[in-house]
Structure 1
Amino acid sequence: MTAEAAAPPVSAGMTAAGGDRPLRIALLTYKGNPFCGGQGVYVRHLSRELARLGHRVEVIGAQPYPVLDEGVPVTELPSLDLYRQPDPFRTPRPGEYRDWIDALEVATMWTGGFPEPLTFSLRARRHLAARRGDFDVVHDNQTLGYGLLGVDRLGVPLVTTIHHPITVDRRLDLDAAAGWRRRASVRRWYGFTRMQKRVARRLPSVLTVSGSSRQEIVDHLGVREDRVHVVHIGADTRLFSPDPAVAEIPGRIVTTSSADVPLKGLVHLVEALAKLRTENPDAHLVVVGHRAEEGPVAGAIERHGLQGAVQFVKGITDAELVDLVRGAQVACVPSLYEGFSLPAAEAMATGTPLVATTGGAIPEVAGPDGETCLAVPPGDAGALSAALGRLLGDPALRRRLGAAGRERVLRRFTWEQAARGTVEHYREAIEERGRRSPDSPAARRSADAPAQLAGG
């Protein structure tokens, strides 16, 4: 047996939850960009709040590297960064290869697959093995790669967050794919979901962000119900807050979306805007996210002559984002599906009234139709247009929904609450790891039982 395969004696910091003892946390993220995608936002805000609670958290990530708040260190585990701009799907130079994991990464990309969850997990496993005893708990942010299955043998418990099963994205992308060649390409790209399904079933503790995601993890990934726990995430309510000094811009609708992701439903919002402008010509849309030069969204904008009514912004600061949301008369989440919906929580936290679909967990966040938001079916441009027009034309309704949305977020969806709930599960995982350790009192009692029975 190799030294790596043998479980070392568990340190004092790992034998029990330790009450309120500060924990040493390794937070893993294979994609950490906080300005594009919920996973990067999750890592940034959760790590900050864990540190504020007095824990030592170290984020370990690959490109795009996380941008973290002061006091949270990041350890870089570089990949070959095969999808970076401006040369995505690049072929590395021979001198860039460092080991067999790099070769695996390139080979998977060459054959149309997405290698990063697997290759990051292998690099993370190797890094953690070289740092035995540095952490009390390892928290994986939806990597779900084979390499993580070896973490328990390093003497440290593993907790994993699954925001939602990526099989949902796969299904929606297949539905949107035109022609058999495109569908075959989508199936190959999402080949890593088979690995994630196998890994998820073997995880001892899974956190997720909503009850809707919990049920889908059980149904789609086959994870046992007793292993999946909901810890709601939320908005940074210090940052996302009302400011009466920021003037509303008449007709402005704001949304956060990537134009080339069918799941986000942006094409339906563009169609809704076209209908809305026939009665409200001031209505216009600001999209926080990437603009695709071609595809369904670009086609809809051109078809309806909305080039001057739809603006895409990216690379803005937090303060600029907050003021953008504050200045909108309406915020909109048009997604076909969300595992939680941070944009909904953040818009509500600013007091901006919300129109949102009922896709996935959005109702869990946005609340009841007519009380804290206006809710519409996903994929229904006509219903979106009607709800947006109703809010734009009713200042009293906007004020009422905005105030109710802010109160809902403060009560249920803050990052401090998320951090405290996450720490509870860290301590449970540490306790369980201690019970299973060969050196724990419970394990010694179990090992002594046959001898006691023979002597009795």
Structure 2
Amino acid sequence: QALSSLKNPFRIFDPVNFYEVVATHIGMFPEIFTFSMRAYFKLKEIMRTERIDVVHDNQTLGYGLLLMKTLGVPVVATIHHPIPIDMKADLAQARKFSSKFRRIIFYSFIIMQHIVSKRMDRVVAVSDISAEDAVRIFHVPKSKVRVVHNGIDIEVFKKVDGVQKVPHNILMVGNTEDRKKGVIYLLQAMRILKNDTDVKLTIVDRKGDHTKYAPKLVHEYGLEDRVTFTGRLTTEELVRHYCAAEIAVTASIYEGFGLPCAEAMSCGTPVIATRAGALPEVVGDDDAGVLVPPEDPVALANAIKRLLADRALRQKMGQMARKRIEQRFSWEDAARRTLKIYEEVV
């Protein structure tokens, strides 16, 4: 794929291109390194005629960022969460040695991110827990870390007139191939509930060859008549699904923030989430949602059953959820905090 994208085939022998092709073929994930190098070369070119005050990286954390610093430009990096957390989750759920070995090869870029992250001028974390984890896992100096929570566009993610709740329908939004999302535990909860609770699960995720893990579990647990995959949705379609669901569930074993959970709350849909990563920061402790232990399908099933049986509680919780998002997670506040960080390093 990388070769076919080159207009001049001989450019394959450019060191960055050649490395990308070879590394991809042996199962590595070289794109974040190669992107950072190309970004460095482009920045160097631009700075011949333009003034650049700050470079802000969105968690590539590639070696090219260190080269950018040699140009005299401060570099700020956002870390949504340290990727070793993903690796740990993948390895824990891999059943075969060969699968574990492939995941170790894939995540080999973590060493680079460990080296680069601590050398940034500032690190922006999207939650308190991701800030703590950046310090603990990547050893980023605490003095360099700033927290800027993600924002939610409350004018987009809101109740839609005319959209009725689908009875007994719960919703999950996320990449089910990502083992951190905990789809296995949600499907195990569905298996527990299927004999005594009328409940249907809609999963917003891709279909086809890109999504194999969750459909395989659905078949293994005999849930074909209970679980539906939507495929990709537009933002408008996604909002309508949030509004139509009686409950939105985030069963993750870790979240650096948890955008689907916050989006559902913004739409006034009650949420059940795990006490994992930043989800307690998003859901809070003011009756805006239900928190359960991570990796606990029994607790998840009990929470789903209880909330489906209590319409008044769902309505109250949805109202509190919307209020919490409006008060705490605006993009305007995120922009102000980010600008302040830029002012620190310029």
**Matched residue, 2:15:** 100
Is it true that 1:172 corresponds to 2:94 in the alignment?
A: no
Q: Which moved more, 1:159-168 or 1:415-424?
A: 415-424
Summarize deviations over 1:30-59 as a string: whole Å, max 9, x none: xxxxxxxxxxxxxxxxxxxxxxxxxxxxxx
Distance 1:376 1:81 in 2: 47
Which residue identity does 1:190 align to in structure 2? Y
**Matched residue, 1:376:** 292
Unaligned ranges ≥5, structure 1: 1-78, 83-89, 431-456
Distance 1:286 1:122 in 2: 41
Structure (1 or 2) with the larger CA radius of gyration: 1
Change (3 A) 1:362 1:92: farther
**Matched residue, 1:340:** 257
**Matched residue, 1:145:** 62
Which residue identity does 1:276 align to in structure 2? L
Change (3 A) 1:92 1:279: farther
Are the counterparts in 2 of residues 142 and 163 from structure 1 also a CA contact under 8 Å? yes
Is it true that 1:425 corresponds to 2:335 in the alignment?
A: no
Which residue identity does 2:281 align to in structure 1? E
Q: Which of 203, 221, 234 lines up with 1:304 in the alignment? A: 221
Summarize deviations over 1:192-243 as a string: whole Å, max 9, x none: 0000000011111000101101111001001111111100112111100123
Change (3 A) 1:199 1:247: same
Change (3 A) 1:284 1:107: same
1:411 Cα deviation after fit = 0.7
Paired residue total: 343
Are the counterparts in 2 of residues 234 and 346 from structure 1 also a CA contact under 8 Å? no
**Matched residue, 1:290:** 206
1:186 Cα deviation after fit = 1.1
Moved over 3 A (4+): 90-96, 291-296
SS at match of 1:190: helix
Unaligned ranges ≥5, structure 2: none
**Matched residue, 1:406:** 322
Is it true that 1:162 corresponds to 2:79 in the alignment?
A: yes
Which residue identity does 1:107 align to in structure 2? V
Trace 1:40-189 onto structure 2 (pairs within 5 A). Answer: 80=2, 94=9, 97=12, 99-132=14-47, 133-189=50-106
Q: What TM-score does the superposition give when structure 2 sets the normalisation length?
A: 0.94
Is it true that 1:248 corresponds to 2:170 in the alignment?
A: no
Are the counterparts in 1 of residues 3 and 12 from structure 2 also a CA contact under 8 Å? no
Trace 1:308-319 onto structure 2 (pairs within 5 A). Answer: 308-319=225-236
Change (3 A) 1:308 1:134: farther
1:179 Cα deviation after fit = 2.6
CA RMSD for the aligned pairs?
2.2
**Matched residue, 2:195:** 278
Change (3 A) 1:153 1:106: same
Distance 1:342 1:406 in 2: 14
Between the aligned residues of both structures, percent identity stands at 38
Summarize deviations over 1:70-124 as a string: whole Å, max 9, x none: xxxxxxxxx9299xxxxxxx99994562722110101111222110110000000
SS at match of 2:264: helix
**Matched residue, 1:327:** 244
Distance 2:132 2:27 in 1: 30
Are the counterparts in 2 of residues 241 and 349 from structure 1 also a CA contact under 8 Å? yes
Distance 2:8 2:246 in 1: 50
Change (3 A) 1:356 1:126: same
1:295 Cα deviation after fit = 5.7
SS at match of 1:160: strand
Is it true that 1:415 corresponds to 2:337 in the alignment?
A: no
Which residue identity does 2:256 align to in structure 1? G
Which residue identity does 1:373 align to in structure 2? G
1:291 Cα deviation after fit = 4.2
**Matched residue, 2:150:** 233
Q: Higher helix proportion, which one?
A: 2
Which residue identity does 2:190 align to in structure 1? L
Are the counterparts in 2 of residues 259 and 291 from structure 1 also a CA contact under 8 Å? no
Distance 1:362 1:413 in 2: 13
1:253 Cα deviation after fit = 0.6
Q: Which of 179, 190, 201 lines up with 2:107 in the alignment? A: 190
Which residue identity does 2:176 align to in structure 1? A
Change (3 A) 1:92 1:303: farther
Distance 2:176 2:124 in 1: 29
Q: Which moved more, 1:252-261 or 1:335-344?
A: 252-261
Distance 2:172 2:132 in 1: 27
1:422 Cα deviation after fit = 0.8
1:383 Cα deviation after fit = 0.8
Which residue identity does 1:389 align to in structure 2? K
Summarize deviations over 1:150-197 as a string: whole Å, max 9, x none: 212223221110000001001111111223222221111100000000
Q: What TM-score does the superposition give when structure 1 sets the normalisation length?
A: 0.72
Trace 1:352-391 onto structure 2 (pairs within 5 A). Answer: 352-368=269-285, 371-391=287-307
Which residue identity does 1:238 align to in structure 2? E
1:296 Cα deviation after fit = 5.0
Which residue identity does 1:327 align to in structure 2? A
